[in-house]
Amino acid sequence: MMRGMADDIVRVAQLSDTHFLTDADDAEGGFAYDTAAAFEAVLADLDGGEALDLVCVTGDIADHGRAPQYARAAEAFARLPAPVNVCPGNHDQQLAFGAGMGRPGVGTSRVIETGVWCFLFVDSNAGVMTVGDDGLVRDPDDYGDRLHRNGALGSAEAAWIRAMHDATTAEHVFVWLHHPPDPPAPLSHDADYAAEWAALMPDLPKVRGFGGGHTHVPDDYSFAGVPAFVSPAFKNNFDLEAGTLLPPGYRRYEFATDGTISSETRLVGEDTWPRHPLGRSVMALLRAEITYAEFDEIVARRRAAPD
Ligand SMILES: [Fe+2]
């Protein structure tokens, strides 16, 4: 029996966008946090908190989807204080993710039922994957902008969500996924992806909410009448209103038997990762006023001719 079942509340921690690197990898010119150090800070906070039934990790596990990065992530996740289940993000590579994440206590299950709740782990990259002649689902050959890509369900994933929602005998369904539907963060707006979820929701009356990541902007908002929660990342986090960086962090959730959900953001290591003001060009990127290509040009120009 899961630990939280004593009072029928299901307690979950959500980690997201852990972006694990190996020591040999370059962490984006110093703009990214040391994600291994961020993991240790989160682990210490988890160990000091209430007992958990499950830890969900919602994608961008490995910074570049490489096998050694998954090995490091899986070793770290095996130290978490509850069973762990992960789903992929746009930085994850389909086959390396599948081969690299599972080990005792760390899984890639797509459905977990606990008490009156059913957790669905949706692959919000499914709509951009290709099916080979051998029937195997792979990353597309041309995945050039994958590091910045927003979500896509595609017809097969949408059909799977409907089927699982209808098949479960649980009263309440919660969706864990990398790309939250229609988040407030401007850079992650994607009308096509939002429309996919909007079309699905009338068929999913048991869905009580969403837990996602991707934006690196911790948030909660409402989508189609249910709450959507966005977890902090480990790699770098942004406060768009204050115009600053935020420390790394995670979320805690309590799932009640009546279908209600409470959730709080936990940021860790304020001294290690201070809330530095963001530069004008970073803010312009995060507000979607310039593209990634334009942002990269500005950075390259500055490197070539520093003031
Ligand atoms: Fe990410």
Question: For the chain, what are the domain ranges?
Answer: 3-276, 278-307
d(C-alpha 274, C-alpha 281), whole Å? 19
Fold of 3-276: Purple Acid Phosphatase; chain A, domain 2 (3.60.21)
DSSP 227-254: EEEEPPPSS-EEETTTTEEE--EEEEEE
Q: Are 9 and 50 in contact (CB under 8 A)?
A: no
pLDDT above 50: residue 38: yes
Q: For residue 240, which of 217, 211, 270 has the smallest C-alpha distance?
A: 217
pLDDT in tens, 68-127: 999 999 999 999 999 999 999 999 999 999 999 999 999 999 999 999 999 999 999 999
Beta-carbon count within 10 A of 304 CB:
7
pLDDT in tens, 227-254: 999 999 999 999 999 999 999 999 999 9
Q: At what angle do helices 67-77 and 35-47 cross, to 10 degrees?
A: 20
Q: Are 55 and 4 in contact (CB under 8 A)?
A: no
Distance 19 CA to ligand 1 centre (A): 7
Distance 63 CA to ligand 1 centre (A): 8
Distance 61 CA to ligand 1 centre (A): 8
Q: At what angle do helices 191-200 and 154-167 cross, to 10 degrees?
A: 30
Beta-carbon count within 10 A of 151 CB:
30
pLDDT above 80: residue 285: yes
Q: Are 64 and 25 in contact (CB under 8 A)?
A: yes
pLDDT above 90: residue 145: no
**Residue showing tokens 């690197």:** 21
Distance 52 CA to ligand 1 centre (A): 24
d(C-alpha 95, C-alpha 93), whole Å? 6
Q: Residue 35 has what pLDDT?
A: 94
Distance 131 CA to ligand 1 centre (A): 25
Read off the tokens for 154.
């595609």
Q: Are 213 and 176 in contact (CB under 8 A)?
A: no
Distance 55 CA to ligand 1 centre (A): 18
Distance 34 CA to ligand 1 centre (A): 14
pLDDT above 50: residue 4: no
Distance 82 CA to ligand 1 centre (A): 23
Distance 49 CA to ligand 1 centre (A): 25
Of 22-31, 117-126, 170-179, 211-220, the poorest mean pLDDT is in: 22-31
Residue 79: Cβ-neighbour burial (10 angstroms; 0-12, 13-18, 19+): middle
pLDDT in tens, 251-269: 999 999 999 999 999 999 9
Read off the tokens for 274.
């201070």
Q: Are 61 and 101 in contact (CB under 8 A)?
A: yes
Q: Residue 5 has what pLDDT?
A: 47
Distance 169 CA to ligand 1 centre (A): 33
Distance 275 CA to ligand 1 centre (A): 19
In the structure, ligand 1 is a single-atom ion and the residues with CB under 5 Å from it are: 17, 60
Distance 151 CA to ligand 1 centre (A): 12
Distance 137 CA to ligand 1 centre (A): 22
